[in-house]
Amino acid sequence: MHIVTNAKQLTDCLEIVEKVLPVRSTLPVISNILFEVNQDCLTFSATNLEMFIKVKMDYQGNETGKILLPPKIVDIMRYFPTDEVDIEINWDNYRLGISGGTAQFHLYGSDHEDYPTSFESQSDQQPGFSIEQVKFKKALKSVAFAASNEETRPAFNGILLSFKENRFSLTASDTYRLAINDARDDKWSFDEKKALVPARSLRELLRILSDNNDPVTLINQDNILAFKFDRIYFASRLLEEKYPDVSGVIPGEYKTRIIIDRKQLEDTISRSALLAEGKNQAVNIIVKEGHLEVRVSGQQGSMEEIIPVEQEGEDLDLFVNTRFVLDILKILEDNKITIDFHGEGGPLIFRLVDDQSYLYLVLPIKKIN
């Protein structure tokens, strides 16, 4: 079989599916990329048994076939010298010839027979819910960072997607902080359903979603949640753990509320983080008389900075983890944000000034004596 096609488009497809190839696996077959040749497209698939990605690329040809490509082909194409690539496949020994310009490579592929395809068979043909990619990507980005990376509490390694009536929400927490994005639209109509998706799966999805208004379709069936967009099919197995009800940790009335310039606060906290020490990277925040003061003192030195704010309620004095605060300030795009405080031992809640659909809750650090 002879295939002549665009090298950059081929490379782009390979780099997308490469993201889910396992670093190591007890099942050697999934260390490869499944390559399918059809008369109207080339298809590339990869899985680590938790995630699955398939990417299609336009192609016109007369032959069809399947072969497993070794992962080394990604690097070869990444440094390919010409705009066009010529691939010759020998089906008898799965030998590939890859040539362009003065470069010529030979690789050995393998039989596709034992490659797992269960992801698609479970969810590819099911009805789904569509939303603009840019909206879903923004919502997902606003919570994904808050999920836990520790394996001791598996439920918190996931991001909870909840569907009910005319809204869907995303929830993530590592028990020290909590992010919730609650999207509503009167045009939506959902059966009540929940899906706990591994955070690492959705972080990979974030890397390949586009910033455009083209739709991404979510398809939920049994233990799979799939996403279809552009010419990409991405699926993830769901976690079986029960996600705890986090509504009880969100307090009602605030004791102190400030409205502050987000970028100014980000810059100030970034400067204070330069001198913050210890595991918690703690800095002192003081709200008093219409100002927010940030203080930090350690073995390497000290720093103080004051920012004007719009203040409601009582003054306060507490410590926060600089990383937890910077994580949200770097993601939000609004010029002004609201921070609600619930006493010196209560949580801080970050919100957008004109949008109550999103909140980020972070616990303060026990006061340092």
The pLDDT tens digits for 309-322 are 999 999 999 999 99
Angle formed by the axes of helices 199-208 and 133-144, nearest 10°: 140
Identify the structural domains of the chain with CATH numbers, from first to last.
2-116 (3.10.150.10), 127-247 (3.10.150.10), 251-362 (3.10.150.10)
> Is the four-CA dihedral 149, 154, 158, 160 of positive or negative sign?
negative
Residue 86 — pLDDT band, cuts 50, 70, 90? very high
Residue 367 — pLDDT band, cuts 50, 70, 90? low
Q: For residue 118, what pLDDT is reported?
A: 67
Helix (H) or strand (E) holding 335: none
- The pTM for the full model equals 0.91
Q: For residue 126, what pLDDT is reported?
A: 59
Calculate ∠ Cα 83-85-86, nearest 5°: 150
3-state secondary structure of 115: coil
Residue 232 — pLDDT band, cuts 50, 70, 90? very high
Is the pLDDT at 16 greater than 60? The verdict is yes
Q: Residue 355 is encoded by which pair of tokens?
A: 């949008």
pLDDT, averaged across the chain: 92
The pLDDT tens digits for 178-197 are 999 998 877 777 778 899 99
Partners of 83 in beta bridges: none
The whole-angstrom separation of Cα 6 and Cα 13 is 11
Partners of 227 in beta bridges: 218, 234
Q: For residue 343, what pLDDT is reported?
A: 93
What string of DSSP letters covers 191-212? EEEEEEEEHHHHHHHHHH--SS
Q: For residue 276, what pLDDT is reported?
A: 93
| DSSP secondary structure code for residue 166 in this structure | T
pLDDT mean over 273-299: 94
Please report, rounded to a whole number, the percentage of residues in the chain having pLDDT higher than 70: 97
